[in-house]
Structure 1
């Protein structure tokens, strides 16, 4: 601000001096000057000339020599030139640093084995590293600016890309070599832009398939000998009074462990089938109330009066899904509550609206558990209390089965628990899996 005040003072001094000079000259040379008016006009003309000269110097400097030192200036113009030059140097240094950072990022991405693809808000290709060219077959000369869905046309990828739900990665065969399996993961950033990361997980996929086949084959092979063993033990138990006393306890334990092994084999086979089979099979229309009433009856038989088991139904819509799988998932949750809650506890089974969809909840007021265990509860054979789980005869696969059933039904498992405050397991189904009860279709029990 002080620069403009100084400039106004300079203008005032100049006009005053030129006016006085003009008055003096007007008295001396009245024929040439018209007194004070001519002096003021001359002063203003000189002032405008000086400013136009500085404007021209600024224009020529910015147009022809922007990276050189600024031209000399007086007054506010000299300060303006210096400030512009300082700002210009700062901007040049910042641009240089940004270019260096961008070059380092590009070099780092080029060194990665995984594919990195940058997409604009419309889903068009902007930039990718050399790994993406090799893995996805992208060609810089032809594909830049093309929509990604024009080049990766697998319907599963198109659905994944357009759904905008990128919490879980997508695994599909490579578009240029079906023998390879790729994992796609999209991250949103900036102004609705996308970063696509692609990893070759062929070896991991093969190992996972080998594991599934091994578990399924071993479980299937174990089923026959266990059935034979259980049959003989059951026959011997019918004549237990004829056996020596010291043998009776042994036969009882053998029968209990055989039953447990049979349950484990059945759960492993079910889990293998859930992982391998298509999730679109057997899309039944379930009357959830009838299904839950049946599960509650079974749970009361298992509880034998040790817990209070209640049912609450606040949702009237029917559920589209596989009846056996949904029943298996709900039964696992309810039976776990019966096994792991102390006598006198209350277990509540609910079918209620939840956001736009609906949810099946299993809640108890038992001992609960530390929330630190929640992320791992759906892992196979993970147990919060190994001693108590072994005593109840659980297989450690119940929640893993629940997780896979819900994934096949576009649903999510939400778990809430605190020590001493019980636990709540919620199976949240989307609205796309629900149909109004009066739609005319006949639901399955």
Structure 2
């Protein structure tokens, strides 16, 4: 740039020198001619005119030089200023001037490179933002001053926070559970990796989080802050507890009939078989316990089958009235034992379902109603159409269910009255099977109950098209 300026200055000086030299030559030639002239005014007019022409010519030549050499440089300077401001779309005009064409081309190459780098950076930032926002785990990043610098949507939703009330705030001011706050403080103060499982109450529910914290290290091992990632494992904990309860319940339910069968059979083998009354009594108990064991195994197999991934029912147009009557016929002996009245309010309805599975559903609901109903009460079965769905209701006048226990009715082995259920030979799996079979039919089941009044199970099934 300096050499160009020097060349431009030298060029202008040469032009001015040439103009002055030309003017000197003109004056030198004109002086002898007008040396004897009495009126010197004409000489000065000629000199002034010649000087004006010289200035005009110099101005034209100078403006041309400026246009060719200075303007491209000014344009390149303006383009560079735009690049400094972050406008990487700016381009310098490439003129024919040898002195500036290389500069303009270099600036344009730089601008294109910066634009490409910026585009790649923006794309990577969008990808990172999308990844952080849509990851299954909640994330929060805290800078070295303790202020929240980054937070994703799952984190905000978990604690019902907003971006405005979180970003830039000190991490102790964002009102997260104190268990999580203690974990964050520990990672922040020690600047080390840490992992933990924490529990806290969210309203009336117990929440479980698997939390991982790590320091954020920049260039030259500079500590920039910490990042905390956590995943809600409440459902996993619940399923783990259900699995443990299931194993414990299965072991207990199997042990009871097996112990009875073993104990009475050993007593018979020890000589009790010689007493005919004792023999018949013990054999009846063994037979009852064997039936109970068989029922439990069958229910376990049924439940295992319907809980398998990909389980489907063999659905087809099915007359629900016939299904209900068939189920009633099979449960009628149990109904008669308690002198329970059965009231049918049934309308012809065709559903899209598996007849055998639906018979199993109605039987389980009727068995449940009979089990928890007293003698000389009444069970009502209704069948009608509502909102383009088939509705089946089984209403009893039994002991009813506490509202706090309704949510657990469909758990495996859960019983409202354990003693009554076991005495009746129930396995505690019937309602769980009902729930899975109804869901397999793309329907739903609801429960409405009042203690001492009775319980109503309502099933919604799709109609046959």
TM (norm. structure 2) is 0.43
**Bigger CA radius of gyration:** 2
Q: Which has the higher contact order (CA 8 A, sep 6+)?
A: 1
TM (norm. structure 1) is 0.45
